[in-house]
Amino acid sequence: DGNELTDIADYMQENTTNNEKTDLYGIAKDKNVIFISLESLQTFVINNTVNGEEVTPFLNDLIGESYYFENFYHQTAQGKTSDSEFIVENSLYPSPRGAVYFTHAQNDYHSLPEIIGNEGYYSTVFHPNNKSFWNRDVMYENTGYDHFFDVDAYEVTEGNSVGWGLKDKDFFSQSMKYLETMQKPFYAKFITLTNHYPFELAEEDATIEKYDSNSKTLNSYFQTARYMDESIEEFFTYLKESGLYEDSIIVLMGDHYGISDFHKKAMSMYLDQEYTDYLHVQLQRVPFYIHIPGQEGEVISKIAGQVDVKPTLLHLLGIDDSNDLSFGTNLFADERKPYIALRDGSFISDEYVYTKDQCFNRETGELIDTTTGTADEESTCQLYIEQVEEELSYSDQIIFGDLFRFYNFKDENVIEEVE
């Protein structure tokens, strides 16, 4: 019943309440929100080179005119892209097994599209895949999306497809006609596709050379990442030409890793670094940008994660969410939760990276201690290990028990009495 929610709601209110109003509160009020999900893009390619050439020149330049979070972690699990969508829009954790999009698509949520829909936003997703992939059609309908431009909205031919489907450049160019006529203000989520395993690309679309290692996957990854970078640049040009650019904030985020542990050896060679459990966690960083017209760029180094996106966007849009229940905190607030939890119980704090019973210094990667010693040898990371486990389990309880159906988000946090 709703009683188990009482403790969880108290915990969430206490640990992640988003009451603090910064100078940026409402800075994007009534502006369109364009959210670009960057398929499989990891932070290690940003400001990096392959064979002496920049991998993502456009995204590198974009740092100079955006809030760019260099220590932003994906928190996805088996649900991959769908998990990233779920985390971002609900500020909850994904499921420890399977994908919430499949297993709990009918729950009561308090999702971003629904919340901003109540403020007059028209919400839509652009993604050239079958609408039922990841059960998106069901989940989108349930979480307040007004429309989903799925594969049927696009002209897909052999010539403009590769790998998983429509090439990103064609995806953006074909999307513009819909975007230009859209009811405003809108929240439009664009999910890219070309930079997806196995990172296939037509020869004519390759503008940089492949990497040379024992991993075909990593070798190709740089080329498709560059292709995606070019497609984003073209999209920005279209937005400027259409006049939408000035009236929109543009958010870009990597959805999850693209290069798995299977490619350790090649990664280690590329990064010229030993592949440790510490490095594995640090490689879970994905790019996160918020571009606000008229705002200067800033590189923000504080730790951040996908759960933080929802409260951050609501803050920028000037939508009061102090009654909301989230596991993330507004990234611009001074008072923030002191760690970013990953789905497997690993976490990152200002000082430490904790994973697989080991506590590392976050800056240096030096192993500080392990938790497998004797009982009196407490790990330096001990402070948060249990809290992270508790928090993940709270999120699971909310999802598995569909607990938000007992919560009244409008009326001062009242837990509705249930029979």
Residue positions annotated with a catalytic role: 81
Q: Residue 188 or 353: which CB sits closer to ligand GP9?
A: 188
**Polymer length in residues for the chain:** 419
Site size for ligand GP9 (CB under 6 A):
7
Among positions 13-42, residues that touch Mn ion (CB under 5 A) are: 39
By CB under 6 A, tell whether 196 contacts ligand GP9.
yes
The encoded tokens of residue 87 equal 């985390």
Considering only the stretches 58-66, 86-94, 190-198, 316-324, report the one whose residues sit in contact with ligand GP9 under the rule CB under 6 A. Answer: 190-198
CB of 193 to ligand GP9, least distance (A): 6
| Pair 284, 72: CB distance under 8 Å | no
296, with CB counted inside 10 A (0-12, 13-18, 19+), is exposed
CB of 133 to ligand GP9, least distance (A): 5
By CB under 6 A, tell whether 291 contacts ligand GP9.
no
- The residue among 302, 359, 370, 358 whose CA lies nearest residue 330 is 302
3-state secondary structure of 411: coil
User: Which residue sits closest to ligand GP9, CB atoms considered?
Assistant: 80
Q: Residue 85 or 308: which CB sits closer to ligand GP9?
A: 85
Considering only the stretches 176-184, 191-199, 378-386, 408-416, report the one whose residues sit in contact with ligand GP9 under the rule CB under 6 A. Answer: 191-199
| Interface characters, 64-83, with ligand GP9 (x: CB under 6 A) | ----------------xx--
3-state secondary structure of 7: helix
State how far the Cα of 114 lies from the Cα of 365, in Å rounded to an integer.
41
3-state secondary structure of 290: strand
* Residue recorded with tokens 């652009």: 126
Q: How many CA atoms lie within 13 A of 131 on its CB side?
A: 14
By CB under 6 A, tell whether 125 contacts ligand GP9.
no
Q: Residue 80 or 110: which CB sits closer to ligand GP9?
A: 80
Q: How many CA atoms lie within 13 A of 75 on its CB side?
A: 34
DSSP H helices in 189-306: 216-242, 264-271, 277-282
The encoded tokens of residue 279 equal 């490095």
Residue 47 site contact among ligand GP9, Mn ion, none (CB < 5 to 8 Å, cut-off depends on kind): none
Phi and psi of 93, rounded to 5°?
-85, 155
By CB under 6 A, tell whether 189 contacts ligand GP9.
no
CB of 255 to Mn ion, least distance (A): 4
Residue 133 site contact among ligand GP9, Mn ion, none (CB < 5 to 8 Å, cut-off depends on kind): ligand GP9
- The residue among 294, 320, 245 whose CA lies nearest residue 26 is 320
Q: Residue 54 or 255: which CB sits closer to Mn ion?
A: 255
Considering only the stretches 11-19, 189-197, 268-276, 330-338, report the one whose residues sit in contact with ligand GP9 under the rule CB under 6 A. Answer: 189-197
Strands 49-50 and 367-370: unpaired
By CB under 6 A, tell whether 129 contacts ligand GP9.
yes
Q: What's the distance, CA 54 to chain centroid?
A: 24
Query: Of 255, 321, 324, 391, which one interacts with Mn ion (CB under 5 A)?
Result: 255
CB of 296 to ligand GP9, least distance (A): 33
By CB under 5 A, tell whether 81 contacts Mn ion.
yes
Phi and psi of 161, rounded to 5°?
-120, 155
By CB under 6 A, tell whether 133 contacts ligand GP9.
yes
Q: Give me the residues that bind ligand GP9 (CB under 6 A), please.
A: 80-81, 129, 133, 191, 193, 196
